[in-house]
Amino acid sequence: MNIIVEQPLLPEEVWTRIHALQLAMRQAGVSAFLVTQNVNLYYFTGSMQAGYALVPAEGDPIFYVRRSVDRARKEAAVRVEPMPSLRTFRTVLEHDYPVHFAQQAARIATEMDVLPAHQFMRLAEMIQSDGDSTLIDGSAIVRRIRMIKSAWEIGRIEAAANVVAEAMTASLGMLREGVSELELMARIEYELRIRGHVGIMRTRSYNMEIMTGMLGSGEAAAEPSAFDGPAGGRGLGPGAPQSVSRKLIQRNEPILIDVGCCVDGYVIDQTRTAVIGSLPDELAAAYAHSEAIIHEVEQLMLPGTACETIYAASLELAADAGLSSSFMGFGADQVKFLGHGIGLEVDEWPVLARGFTDLLAPGMVLAVEPKFTFPGRGVVGIENTYLITDEGPRQLTRSPEGLIILP
């Protein structure tokens, strides 16, 4: 059994990210970036302790930590100082960064896409207390920097992919008629955890939560949910309205196994479809089309291709197969994307969707998931995660493709 060993985030990796942020800030006319979100704190400091990091457009950042200062000093690649009260934070910033806060008006960026409104108002009041400085949205700056993964990041995603592949192989022996979705998912999660899965999959979108995976069989998989994905699942009730239910798995129905894993903060996303016996002809044909679509769009995943071009191609392929109404959900619950960036969060940029004109570039990592939903019958599809290289996409997911057929 392959048990993942933590790979430390080296200081030079962190400083490369900081320098990329500083260059982007100078190009945007931003004075400094106030990093508040835990994922971005980890990305730009090497530590996920509670506090704020101030990254100036010129000069060295400081990580102001509320808790735990001692641990942050052991982990972070940047200077760490105790976080003062918010009432005195402005005075501390003026002392530490006089060019930015004491002598001229400052344009301070922060992650407004994830910052709670109450906290934003308190920070804005603090930043704008001199009447000249302003707090602006820098979300896009950070999200664009994080689109390009380093060799270290790619290695962590690959490690997560290996864990998923092993856990799937170790768990399939439990898949049989009469086993509940919950039981099977619990076994998969066990196999993931003992190999090093940290037990959490982080998302960025407001109110969107994600579990280790979405496992659903038959009509339960096809039940719509608030989750922004092609298959939400029945879940365990209104308090957990997605993913696995207590439904017993039956013969001749599709079993969608959409599983992720997180290693050193980095996630992989993979979907395979299984059946005990055989799928009805219509669903079997739809599954074959999902594989055909993913292989067709692989040919388009070249540097310089616009994300929306790939999405448009997938819609055409689904239409040619006569499956538009079932592609990526059904009816009003269809989602409007084919794939998404992945890394520290499941829902990173870029997105393979209409309106995303970003061009693919080496270092981007995307999960591509063509799926078909049939209400009352089930969901079929496939999902692979790819690294964009100069030569084209390199598949990072390790589990064999193809419909998993059990006797």
The residue-averaged pLDDT of 369-398 equals 98
Could you tell me what percent of the chain has a pLDDT over 90? 90
The residue-averaged pLDDT of 295-320 equals 98
pLDDT at 226 over 80: yes
pLDDT value for 292: 98
Q: Which residue has the higher pLDDT, 131 or 152?
A: 152
pLDDT value for 5: 74
pLDDT value for 132: 80
Q: What is the pTM of this model?
A: 0.96
Go through the domains of the chain in sequence order and give each one's CATH number.
Answer: 11-145 (3.40.350.10), 148-406 (3.90.230.10)
Phi then psi for residue 327, to 5 deg, are -75, 125
Q: Are 297 and 392 in contact (CB under 8 A)?
A: no
pLDDT value for 211: 85
3-17, 232-246, 306-320: the lowest-pLDDT one? 3-17
pLDDT at 231 over 70: yes
pLDDT value for 78: 98
Task: Give the confidence band of 130 by pLDDT, cuts at 50, 70, 90.
Answer: confident
Element (H, E) at 156: helix 151-171
pLDDT at 286 over 70: yes
Task: Give the confidence band of 103 by pLDDT, cuts at 50, 70, 90.
Answer: low
pLDDT value for 105: 78
The residue-averaged pLDDT of 150-168 equals 97
Closest CA to 108 of 140, 138, 141, 135: 135
pLDDT at 48 over 90: yes
Q: Are 76 and 45 in contact (CB under 8 A)?
A: yes
The CA-based angle 369-147-328, given to 5 degrees, is 20
Residue type, 46: G
Q: Please state, rounded to an integer, the average pLDDT across all residues of the chain.
A: 95
- Sheet architecture: strand order including 32-35: 79-82, 62-67, 50-56, 32-35, 107-110, 134-137
The DSSP result for 5-74, as a single string, is PP----HHHHHHHHHHHHHHHHHHT-SEEEE-SHHHHHHHHS---EEEEEEESSS--EEEEEE-HHHHHH
Map residue 333 onto helix, strand or coil: helix
Element (H, E) at 213: strand 213-217
pLDDT value for 213: 87
